[in-house]
Structure 1
Amino acid sequence: MQVNICAHATLAAAHTLFSSGLVDCNNVIEFVTHSGILSAKRIQATLQNSSKKDNGFYIELDFPAYPITEPNLDETSQIYEALNYCASIIDIKRTQITEDLLVVVSSGEAVRKVEPKFDAISKIPGRGVIVSGIAPPSSGFDFYSRFFCPKDGVNEDPVCGTAHCGLASYWSKKLGKCDFNAYQASERGGILNIHIDAKNQRVLLRGKAVTVMEGCLLV
């Protein structure tokens, strides 16, 4: 199934272009997607508490911030069934643009324990369902999340960039900050470094890629 925008594919493509030298590391790459222009730039990674550079770099993707709105009553009742009547739900919102339901639970551990019913989720209007909660203080993260999108052919996305465009908007207001270290608590898991520019309504997502295979195609 083709999607309008894919942060995974964009990050991987940008990593390859920068790593191979096809694009100068100081340039910004603009990708044309069905959702508009998505820009990517290379950010050199540094070791914590050190001025030395490590051998990796981040790819920073520039997304719009997704505004947060209220869901309707039907959606609220549907989500309880879809999440197996989870008792930890403390807030329900909807993200504009992607029209995801954002369900906030009482803790990061509660995020991990959510048992979704994918058939029920597929009947809820919008793209999918995001579940999020405050991370444990000892984890080093600000919040945890999971994203369920059976309508797109993926019951649970291992890591979803666009889901964090709404999460950044929500948590920036709740926590009163603009920089986050987020963990997507899927089975595979993934880490995102996030900055939200509230004035310009942009979300900058930083992540890493690793080249694991190279090949040659003769045409």
Structure 2
Amino acid sequence: MQIPVFTVDAFTNRPFCGNPAAVCLLENDLDEDLHQKIATEMNLSETAFVRKLHPGDDFTKSSCFGLRWFTPAKEIPLCGHATLAAAAVLFHTQKNTNSILTFVTMSGELRARQVEDHIVLDLPLYLTCPQVLQEVEELIKAAAGDMIVQDLRYSSDTKNLLVRLSDAYERSVLEELQVSAQHFLSAEKTGKVKGLILTLKGNSTGKQKGHDFYSRYFTPWYGVLEDPVTGSAHAVLSSYWSEQLGKKEMLAFQCSHRGGELKISLRDDGRVDIAGRVTFVLKGNLTF
């Protein structure tokens, strides 16, 4: 069997930056266990599987496809950067002729469209609620050490804990923070956290002018210690920072060692458009 496979760096226009995702195009149904085996083999934070929904569907002409995402350890319900990568494969390598692509996923229907040199994803917008510090104090200590935490929120939809660090800190402090995410597994006692977001208000002066907020994202519960650039986490961050800043249009930067930029636009229908650029670094075939 041969399956076309692509590695796409998402939320960047430079190779070896942003967040790499593998994208597999499935002409036919794949044995269920092979999805996980392939994702483990690819060993990236996510591998996306794009599948045809009906006989006669075509990667060039059809506008609706099935989409699933797997980490090296398990299937996940939503992945923004791998959706961006999947849309890029269809638009750029398959020359898909549609202006909008629809993906049927565990998180409902997601849409992608091209706008100049960006691909725009239509994602759910997830709200947060205040989180009691005492319930997650050991986890916060493992993540942020003795740093000052300014706000603490929880998203029940995504099981993400959002930790806002003090506005007194600069972006460089977040970038240089040494985090041992493997320790989160034993430090998290509630059983309700599956992802941890560290975030910081942007600095409107200096060389980073223009970024409204910064973040890093950790999800060892899904087998990924730190995800480089995360669309799904920004579906949570977008609602939080829109409320805090009083803005619907924002520019965000995820401060992993690879780094990536996301353009955010909150919509009137309760969803969010998250846009990014991509670059291709590998095209080939899986053979087994």
Indicate whether the TM-score tops 0.5: yes
Report the TM-score when normalising by structure 1.
0.85
Which among 194, 205, 213 is matched to residue 127 of structure 1?
A: 194
Q: Match for residue 147 of structure 2?
A: 87
> Counterparts of 1:218 and 1:115 in 2: how far apart (Å)?
39
Assess, with a 3 A threshold, how the Cα gap between structure 1 residues 73 and 203 changes in structure 2: closer, same or farther.
same
Distance 1:25 1:87 in 2: 48
Find the residue that maps to 1:210 and give its secondary structure. Answer: strand
Deviation digits for residues 146-200 of structure 1 (CA, Å, limit 9, x no counterpart): 0011111111000010100111111111111011111000011111011112x32
Q: Match of 1:111, SS? A: helix
CA distance in 1 between counterparts of 2:287 and 2:137 reads 55
Which 10-residue stretch deviates more, 209-218 or 142-151? 209-218
* Cα 1:92–1:118 shift into 2, 3 Å: same
Give the counterpart of 2:91 among 15, 18, 22. Answer: 18
Q: Which residue of 2 aligns with 1:210?
A: 279
Measured after TM superposition, the shift of residue 92 of structure 1 is 0.7
Which of 42, 45, 55 is equivalent to 2:114? 42
d(CA) in 2 for partners of 1:21, 1:115: 41
CA distance in 2, matches of 1:23, 1:75: 48
Aligned pair in 2 of structure 1 residues 17, 78: CA closer, same or farther (>3 Å)? same
1:135 CA displacement: 2.0
2:118 and 2:276 in contact (8 A); partners too? yes
Give the deviation of 1:218 after TM superposition.
8.8
Q: Distance in 1 between matches of 2:246 and 2:112?
A: 27
| Alignment of structure 1 residues 104-115 onto 2, 5 Å | 104-106=164-166, 107=169, 108-115=171-178
Distance 1:152 1:211 in 2: 25
Unaligned runs of 5+ in 2: 1-72
Where structure 1 has 5 or more consecutive residues not aligned to the other structure, the ranges are 45-56
Given that 1:95 and 1:166 are in contact with CA atoms closer than 8 Å, whether structure 2 keeps it comes out as: yes
TM-score relative to the length of structure 2: 0.66
RMSD value over aligned CA atoms?
Answer: 2.1
What displacement does 1:77 show? 1.4
Q: Identity over aligned residues, as a percent? A: 35
Structure 2 counterparts to residues 168-207 of structure 1, below 5 A: 168-197=238-267, 199-207=268-276
Q: Which residue of 1 aligns with 2:228?
A: 158
Whether the 8 Å CA contact 2:132–2:152 is kept in 1: the answer is: no
Larger relative contact order (Cα-Cα within 8 Å, sequence gap ≥ 6): 2
Which AA in structure 2 matches 1:96? S
Deviation at 1:95, TM superposition (A): 1.6
* CA–CA separation in structure 1 for the residues paired with 2:286 and 2:228: 29
Quote the offset at 1:121 in angstroms: 1.8
**SS of corresponding position for 1:213:** strand
